[in-house]
Chain A
Amino acid sequence: MKIFELTAREIREKIRKKEISPREIISSYLERIEAIEPKIRAYITVASETAIEMAESLEERLMKGEDVGILAGIPIAIKDNICTKNMRTTCASRILENFFPPYDATVVNLLKKAGAIIIGKTNMDEFAMGSSTENSAFFPTRNPYDLERVPGGSSGGSAAAVAAREAPLALGSDTGGSIRQPASFCGIVGFKPTYGRVSRYGLVAFASSLDQIGPLTTNVEDCILLFYVIGRYDPLDSTSAPLPTPSLEEMLIPEAKDLRIGLVEELFGEGIEKEVREGVLNAVRYFEEMGASLEWVSLPHLSYALPCYYIIAPSEASSNLARYDGVKYGLRVDAEGVIPMYMETRDKGFGPEVKRRIMLGTYALSAGYYDAYYLKALKVRSLIKRDFDRAFEKFDILISPTSPIPPFKIGEKIDDPLKMYMADICTIPINLAALPALSIPAGLDPQGLPIGLQMIAKPFEETTLLRAALAYEKAHPFLPLKPSL
C-alpha cells in the first residue's frame, strides 16, 4: 500500500513506530498531487516548499524525541478562505488574488501546534458562495467519481482533494452546506460542528451568524482526530463557545445502540430524487441492526428554510464584503475619485454570483424592505429553530439526505441561480439552527455516484453524533469509499 492511501490514523501509527518519516509522507502526497492534479484541479496553491521544510524540521524534532503533537507529519489541505500566514489566501476571487495574510487563522495555529503539515490551499466557490465550485474565479474542480461532474461546493477543492487521496485531511467552511454537500458528492465524511465550537478567527467572513469551519476526511476516525484539534474555545472569536473540548477517547467509542433516530419527513419528500431517497433509506437499516430505533418526524417549517437562508446569508454577506474597497489590501482598479475607484474595483474584483448576493443582500437591508425581507427571515429562523428543538425532545439524532440530488454535470446549473440554490435544501436548515451535522456516504447510486447521508444532533452534542457515525461506518460493508482514478 502506498503512503497516500493510508488514513491519518494509520500515518500517525506509523510515525509513532518510526516506520515512516514525515519527509516520506510529504513526498508521497506531492507525487500523488503531481500525478492526479491535472485531472482534478483541487488546489489553488500547492505549498510544496514550505511543506517539505515543515516535514524536515518535524523530523529533526522527532529524532530528538520531542513531543511533536497528535497530527505530527500528517498533511492537511486548507480551504482558500482560511488565512495562512504569508501563504496566498485568495477566496478563489480576483479581488484577493494576491493577498498574503499577515497572520494565521486560529485553526491553522492549532494545526501547526499539533504537528500537521499544510500541503496546500484548495479551490472553492468565490467567497464560499456556491454549491459546485464552478464560481471559482480561477478554474472549476472535477469530481473524482466522474470528471464531467462537479465536486459540490463551496468546499469542492477540499472534498475532491481528500477523495482523490491528494491529502488525508482537509478543512472546509460551511455556511449553508459547504462542507457537507461536497463531502456527499465526493463520497467522503464532512462535518460541520455546532456554531461556536470552532473559532472563526482568520476565516474570511461570508455570513457571520452561519459560518463554521470543519473537517473533511475519508473516514470518521480521522474526522474525530481533526475535530479534536480544532474544536477549542478561542478568546479571539467573540462567538466562540467557552466550553471544554470533548474527550478524544470518548468520541472514539462507536455507539449507536438505543439511539432514538428521527427521519426528517420533509427532507425525503418533494424535490428529493428517487435514487437519493432510496440510497439513504437503504443505509439507515445499519442503525436499526445495531439496536437504534427509527421513526418519522415532521419539521413543518423546513420548506421555508431556503428563502429564509437566501435572505439572511446575502444580507450578512453584503455587509461583510463591504471591506473590499481597494484601500488596505486586495485589488484596486484606479478611477477618478474615491467612489468610482470603489465601484470599478468591486466590479472587476467580484464574480457574478458574489455580485448577485451582494445585490440581493443590499436590497433586503435597504430602507423600506428591511421589515419585509430581513426581519421576516429572522422570525422564520426562530420558527425553524423551534421545529428542531421540538424534534430533539424526542430524538437523539435526525437523519436526512445531505443533497437532494447526486453530483450534477459541470455547466448544468450555473446559469440558473435558483436551481443551484435548491442544491442546499437539506443542509441550510442546520446552519439556521446552528446545529452540528455530518455527511457520511450512504453508498453509490446505480450510476456509481456517491450519495450522502446527513446526521444531525443537538447543539454541542458532537460526541453523540460522532460516536453514532463511527458505529455506522463500521457496520457499513463498503465504507470508506474510494474512487477508481
Chain B
Amino acid sequence: MPRLTREEVEHVAYLARLSLTEEEKEMFTEQLNRILEAFAKLQELQTEDVEPLSHVIPLKNVFAEDEGKDWQSLTTEEALANAPEQENNHFVVPRIVED
C-alpha cells in the first residue's frame, strides 16, 4: 500500500470538512500511515470469490401505509429549539449563493 502524504491528508480533511491545525495534519499523517500499515494484513486474504457482507441479519424492505402519523411529528418550535441560529421559523445559514 502506498504511503499517505501530507497533501492527501489535507485533501481527506477537506472532504470530511475538518479544518485541521498544522500540528494535527502532522499527527494524522503519521498515525494514519501506521494504522494503514497494520491493516495491510487484510490484503493477505484471497477474497475474489467472497461476497461482501454489509448487513448480517437478513433484512427486507419495510413498507408502511402512505399516511402521516401525528405522534412522531415535531412542532416547528421543537424542531428549531436546538438551532444555533433561527429566524422567522427558519434555520439561518451563512450565505451560500453569491449575488
- A residues contacting B by CB (< 8 A) are 98-100, 102-103, 194-196, 209, 235-236, 238-239, 241, 301, 303-304, 307-308, 310-311, 318, 322, 325-332, 334-344, 346-347, 350, 352, 355-356, 358-360, 362-363, 366, 372-373, 375-383, 385, 417-418, 432-434, 459
Contacts and interface: CB of A to CB of B under 8 A. Distances in A.
B84 A331 contact: yes
B4 A363 contact: yes
Nearest to A101: B82
Interface of B: 1, 4, 8-9, 12-21, 24, 27-28, 31-32, 34-35, 38-39, 41-43, 45, 47, 50-57, 59, 62, 64, 72, 74, 78-79, 81-85, 91, 93-96
A82 B53 CA distance: 27
A194 B17 contact: no
Nearest to B47: A379
A376 B47 contact: yes
Contacts of B56: 195, 209, 381, 385, 432-434, 459
By Cβ-Cβ distance, the 10 closest A-B pairs, closest first, are A378-B52, A329-B82, A332-B84, A434-B56, A343-B19, A307-B39, A379-B47, A382-B53, A362-B16, A379-B50
B50 to A, nearest CB: 4
Nearest to A238: B62
B28 A356 contact: yes
Contacts of A459: 56-57
Given A310-B39, A418-B38, A359 B94 contact: no
A112 to B, nearest CB: 15
B24 A355 contact: yes
B33 to A, nearest CB: 11
B52 A239 contact: no
Contacts of B4: 363
Contacts of B59: 238-239
